Amino acid sequence: MDEETIFLQLEEKAEKAIEHAAHDFAAINTGKANPGMVEGITVEAYGSHMALKEMAAITTPDARTIAVQPWDRSVLKAIEKAIQTSNLGITPAVMGDIIRLPLPELTGERRQELAKVASKHAEDARVAVRNARREAMDSLKKLQKDGELSEDDLKRCEKDVQTTTDESIKKINDLLAAKEKDLTTV
């Protein structure tokens, strides 16, 4: 493995951690309807498990409602059941061939709980970035030990690894700050 491969792996892992954090944040209810809150719900239908977004159109007709319209009416009950058991805290209302999800008003206490959940997701992402940094540093030290990298190159590479790590953690912190602002703004 060469230093270029090590950097590519580091950047890829850091980017995945950021994307994962963004996805986790999208699923947190801020009191505003967001299709991302329900897209990943797993529905048991057609003899297998499928993501809700693969079997229905998910829209937000207004700021406090999510509408789920299955492409096949026969899975309506399965989707309703999956939403009820998903721990979203939203009771689905079936109206014809559309399932409406009215979002309840968030209390101040609930907003604080959700902010803590967002913080935990952010910390998990930061840990993943730090693990990627540690792996990159270990690989670079191994290259240096094997004589494929000079001491000066090692120092330069370690500095670059730290810069990439700092930038990734800043992106995660920015995502968290935006989510916390969403949660605390009524």
Where does a domain end: 56, 85, 102? 102
Q: In terms of domains, do 113 and 152 share one?
A: yes
116 and 65, same structural domain? no
Residue 103: per-residue pLDDT: 85
How much is the pLDDT for 12? 95
Instruction: Give yes or no for residue 76 having a pLDDT over 80.
Output: yes
Is the pLDDT at 84 greater than 80? The verdict is: yes
- The residue whose two tokens read 């719900």 is 41
Parallel, antiparallel, or unpaired: how do β-strands 65-70 and 42-45 relate?
unpaired
Quote the CA–CA distance of 85 and 41 in Å, as a whole number.
10
pLDDT at position 2: 84
> Does 129 lie in the same domain as 166?
yes
Tell me what pLDDT residue 186 has.
62
**63 and 108 Cβ atoms separated by less than 8 Å:** no
Range of the domain at 152: 3-26+107-184
Q: What is the pLDDT of residue 5?
A: 92
Prediction pTM value: 0.74
Q: Which of 102, 129, 148 is the last residue of a domain?
A: 102
Q: Are residues 40 and 70 in the same domain?
A: yes
CA distance 91 to 85: 10
Give 22-79 as a 3 state SS string: HHHHHCCCCCCCCHHHCCCCEEEECCEEEEHHHCEEEEEEECCEEEEEECCHHHHHHH
Which residues sit opposite 50 in a β-bridge? 43
Note whether 22 and 40 are same-domain residues.
Answer: no
50 & 85 share domain: yes
Query: Do 13 and 60 share a structural domain?
Result: no
pLDDT digits (tens, 9 = 90+) for 4-61: 899 999 999 999 999 999 988 887 877 788 888 888 888 888 888 988 888 999 999 9
Please calculate the CA angle 75-77-81 and round it to the nearest 5 degrees. 115
User: Is the dihedral angle over the CA atoms 10, 16, 19, 24 positive or is it negative?
Assistant: negative
Q: What is the pLDDT of residue 87?
A: 72
Chain segment 102-158, per-residue pLDDT in tens: 988 878 888 888 888 899 999 999 999 999 999 999 999 999 999 888 889 999 999
Q: How far apart are CA 179 and CA 23, in angstroms?
A: 12
Q: What is the CATH number of the domain that holds 48?
A: 3.30.1360.40
Tokens of 167: 């930038």
Domain count, the chain: 2
pLDDT in tens, 160-174: 999 999 999 999 999
Q: Does the structure show a pLDDT above 70 at 98?
A: yes
